[in-house]
Structure formats: C-alpha cells, structure tokens
Amino acid sequence: MIGTIEAARLLKICTQRVRQLLYEGRIVGAKKVGKFWQIPLINQMPKVIEGKRGPKGTWRKRVSSALTRIHVNSHKIRSNNHGTKEPVIIIRSGSEKIYAHGVQINGSCNVIYRPEKPLDCGATLWIEVEPDVVVKPFIFANMTRF
C-alpha cells in the first residue's frame, strides 16, 4: 500500500490529479484510513479505471519488455574539457532519458559493443539492464568525490 505522493510519482501525474481520481473512485482498491489514502499496487503500479469521456489518460503504464540502456555522451565529455562538469552518462528506459555522473545497477546487466549496428543516438558501446533490475542514477554537486 502506498500514499498519494508515491502514486503520483509512479503514474507520473501530479498529486492533485491522483486525489481527483481517488474521489471519483477510479483507482482500484483505494481506501481512506483517517486522513490518508492507502492505494494498493497491482503489478507494481496503481490501477486506474479509464474514464467514460474525454481523452485517454496519460498516466504511465509500465512496459515489461523495455530494456534500460546506459551509455556515455561523448559530445558532453568533449564540452566538459572546457571547464564545465555536466553529467555525461545517459540512462534511457522507454522514452525517459536521465543524465547522471554515475549509476548504481542492483542486478545483472550486459555490456554490448556493436560498432556495425549503433543505437539511434550513435552509441556503439552501452549497458543493457532488464526492466526488473533497479538502476539508481546519481549526480555529484561537488566533482571532487568522483
């Protein structure tokens, strides 16, 4: 069971929209205990019932087959030589793209070098991680730690 803030983060919508869905009775199994909502997870996501009118919901739906790919942006590395310390590691999972200085992978992964068939971004070396493996990006405010 999770609260409204965690549900909003998982669904990638604001907490006010989650509360609106709760009051409309559109989140399956949710119940109010005292002042707080308790929302059950179904396949690691709150289950939202689609509305009868208007456009389809834009909340995040997990794609179980989407691999997470991690690679380095060589253009950022070259620009960092001029005094900047921008994050150069790119973590792509579906359409989501996160820039980081480092990555912690809590599970198995594969390192792939494929110069004859690069990714769409041009990367020829990358790390592939299964969707159920937790990938934790981090950014250093002070680069002396790295």
- pTM equals 0.52
Three-class DSSP category at 79? helix
The residue-averaged pLDDT of 120-138 equals 87
pLDDT at residue 60 in the model: 60
Q: Where are the domains of the chain?
A: 4-38, 68-145
d(CA 39, CA 54): 24
pLDDT at residue 63 in the model: 47
* pLDDT more than 90, % of the chain: 30
Q: Which of 102, 38, 27 is nearest to 70 (CA)?
A: 102
Q: Residue 103 contacts by C-beta under 8 Å, 6 or more apart in sequence?
A: 70, 89, 91, 135, 136, 137, 138
